[in-house]
Amino acid sequence: MFTFISQLHVLRSAGIDVPSSCEVGGCGTCIVGVLAGTVDHRDFYLTEEEEQEQNNQLLSCVSRAREQYLLLDV
């Protein structure tokens, strides 16, 4: 996936309805679970501790995969 295409866009293109509101990583509405892979967090919602220790959720409007593979729980 291209780095400029959001997970939210990809999910919606696949017919998966993910709610969203601000679409800039500030509100947490579009949060989805992460089952496998490493996330490049680009949001302002999760704390650094949540991002580093848990790595089990992302804001689909702004976050990206750090690796080629990212499995989401949707």
Long-range contacts of 11-16 (CB under 8 A, 24+ apart): 11/60, 11/72, 11/74, 16/74
Query: pTM score > 0.85 for this model?
Result: no
- pLDDT digits over 14-67, tens only? 999 999 999 999 999 999 999 999 888 889 898 888 777 777 899 999 998 888
Max Cα distance, the chain (Å)? 32
How many Å apart are CA 10 and CA 53, to the nearest integer?
Answer: 26
DSSP secondary structure of 16-74: -----SSSSSSS-TTEEEEEES-EE---SSS-HHIIIII--EEETTT-EESSS--EEE-
Q: What is the CATH number of domain 7-73?
A: 3.10.20.30
